[in-house]
Structure 1
Amino acid sequence: MNGYNLKESENLLICNACGTQFETTDRSALKTCFICDDPRQYVPPSGQSFSTLADLRANHRNEFHPNHRDPRLISIVTTPKFAIGQRAILIRTQSGQNVLWDCVTLLDGNTIAEINKLGGLHAIVISHPHYYSTHVEWATAFSCPVYLSSEDMTWTARETERRIPIAETRTDILLGSSDTDLVEAGIVAIKLGGHFPGSLVLLFDKHLLIADTLLTVPAGVANWKVNALGEPRERPKGANTFSFMWSIPNFIPLSANEIVRMWEILKDYDFTSTHGAFVGTDIEDDDIKARVLQSMQIQTKYMGFGEHPFLHALW
């Protein structure tokens, strides 16, 4: 475990609503969570409360679920659900330089052992502050850097020298190999903004890991391939696949201009699948890029911008 001490920080307080770990064990000193007090998040009706890693390790576990189409992508999800309930995705590469996309709060001995068995971690990249969780623990346990957008570094709750700020729109986390015996895609962090100023997506071999920078909606994962009689059918016109939100839980959409700005960045990249923040939000479709654009245009139109030139954009 690279000298990581499971006991050392197990009593630091963790917000039950968002999973953020704080640099204190004093419950009288920490009465609110600054992540949850932000209008993009919320405090539950039951009120603000805190747990610890010791609590989580006693009652929760992490499960590993390889993607059924590409086992190089492995979802890590905590059960029972804790806080927001997002997954992390372990990207396994032929070179052994594995990258973790996003982060879950629970880190225990079994999780560390399983990831080390799979090759350890070369780097961690986190999409936005709601998933910062216990990333200091993870970076320490695996002796690796953690990449966060420079715009969003003010939302960190603990100090560490392992953070690397992402300042550019495109940042290569791992470069692809040109070795004839080892040809593989690189891993690229793309800063789209939107939900947070620095919200990221991650591109690996035409897989676009989107967290909720692009929010996968029920109509996006619906099965419209056949009707009730088993006959082939087409996806209904006007059905969206994604929404683009400033606040997901509070249902506050992004502006039309912000959506257009995000597309101007994303249109330069090719991808044939998207992988959202939660298990069950993977979409494999050669036309998925067109579906992103269509979803952006649908949201723009129904926010009252029926004459916006973006509605005629093509990719």
Structure 2
Amino acid sequence: MASSNDSFLICFTCGTQFDTTDRNALKSCRICDDPRQFVPPSGQSFTTLADIRKDRYKNKREQYSEDNRIWFIWTEPKFAIGQRAILLQTPSGNVLWDLITYLDDDTAEFIDSIGGLRAIVISHPHYYTTHVEWAQRFQCPVYLALEDKKWINCTEGGQKYRRFIDQQREEIVEGVTAIKTGGHFDGSMVMHWEDKLLIADTFVTVPSALYHINRVPGTTSYSFMWSIPNMIPLPPLEIEKIWGALKPFEFNTTLGAFMGMNVRGRDVKARVLESMKIQIKAEGHPEHAFLSETWP
């Protein structure tokens, strides 16, 4: 599936596409140079969509076992950060949450077969990837937080597709709401649909979230991080802001950034609040006012 962007350089570490083909002009990736990301020990390297298509990469997809209107799409072997995209089949049209870098013919044809895309919503700049490529292929808008506009690296051809969310929340299609929480990035978002919250790594599903039987009191389920790979946590003030943005919404499911990060249960929202309190106490604030927050 060749396109005009096939020769644009893509960071091999984070999957961000830049609107240049000149390897002499682009020596580093400003996404990876930011302290939230990293440059690997082997150094900075770039590829292109054309090269990815020649290699052994293939996109996979799977229906969510709890709701067959939801599809997970990811690339194997792992490319760049390794996140998944999540497709929601809603009565008002299909919405794609977050992106992967690689878009192959099989993925595009599958999405076309179930109605195409009404909109794409991207949680934060680490997943901007090849959003111009996706928007052009499906002729749909891409919603980004206005606060993170400065992190766009592929401007060519994207102006007609990008929509910037400047309020704390915006209804993308009927019943699907993008919610700006901040924290990881100034404009980091989650997305709410029915009883589900798509969280990307705006807050991070941790291993102990997935164990549901005889959970010990005080067991955390989520972490709230400024940098996930470099393990720099958010301070209490930012955690409070995230809760303030989420509190009006009811949900019993979170769908995280990677495969296997699905958490479901009547107590999920309570576990988000509990995890916030655990982190704030662990950061050295045992008397913080937020610890008295309750829900419901």
TM-score normalised to the size of structure 1? 0.91
Distance of 2:69 and 2:149 partners within structure 1: 29
Distance of 2:244 and 2:21 partners within structure 1: 45
Contact 1:6 1:108 in 2 (8 A): no
Q: Counterpart of 1:35 in 2: which secondary structure? A: helix
Distance of 1:259 and 1:284 partners within structure 2: 22
Q: How does 1:128-207 map to 2 (within 5 A)?
A: 128-159=124-155, 160-161=158-159, 162-175=161-174, 186-207=175-196
Report the AA paired with residue 110 of structure 1. Answer: D
| Structure 1 residue 257: Cα displacement | 1.1
Q: Which residue of 1 is the match for residue 35 of structure 2?
A: 39
Per-residue CA deviations over 1:147-181 (Å, capped at 9, x if unaligned) read 00000011001121210000111100011xxxxxx
Distance of 1:137 and 1:6 partners within structure 2: 10
Q: Which residue of 2 is the match for residue 303 of structure 1?
A: 283
Distance of 1:154 and 1:203 partners within structure 2: 25
Q: Counterpart of 1:63 in 2: which secondary structure? A: strand
Runs of at least 5 residues in structure 1 that lack an aligned partner in the other structure: 176-185, 226-233
Q: Does 1:93 align with 2:90?
A: yes
Contact 2:2 2:50 in 1 (8 A): no
Distance of 1:221 and 1:298 partners within structure 2: 17
Rg larger for: 1
Q: 1:209 aligns with which of 198, 212, 215?
A: 198
Q: Which residue of 1 is the match for residue 123 of structure 2?
A: 127
Q: Counterpart of 2:62 in 1: which secondary structure? A: strand
Q: How does 1:32-111 map to 2 (within 5 A)?
A: 32-58=28-54, 59-95=56-92, 97-111=93-107
| Structure 1 residue 10: Cα displacement | 1.2
Q: Counterpart of 2:30 in 1: which secondary structure? A: coil
Q: Which residue of 1 is the match for residue 215 of structure 2?
A: 235
Distance of 1:67 and 1:299 partners within structure 2: 30
Q: Which residue of 2 is the match for residue 183 of structure 1?
A: none
Distance of 1:132 and 1:265 partners within structure 2: 23
Distance of 1:55 and 1:93 partners within structure 2: 34
Q: Which residue of 2 is the match for residue 273 of structure 1?
A: 253
Per-residue CA deviations over 1:103-158 (Å, capped at 9, x if unaligned) read 00001211111110111000000000000000010001000000000000110011
Q: Does 1:10 align with 2:9?
A: no
Report the AA paired with residue 80 of structure 1. Answer: P
Q: Counterpart of 1:72 in 2: which secondary structure? A: strand
RMSD: 0.9
Report the AA paired with residue 284 of structure 1. Answer: R
Report the AA paired with residue 76 of structure 1. Answer: I
Contact 1:123 1:145 in 2 (8 A): yes
Report the AA paired with residue 140 of structure 1. Answer: Q
Contact 2:169 2:179 in 1 (8 A): yes
Distance of 1:93 and 1:261 partners within structure 2: 29
Report the AA paired with residue 112 of structure 2. Answer: N
TM-score normalised to the size of structure 2? 0.97
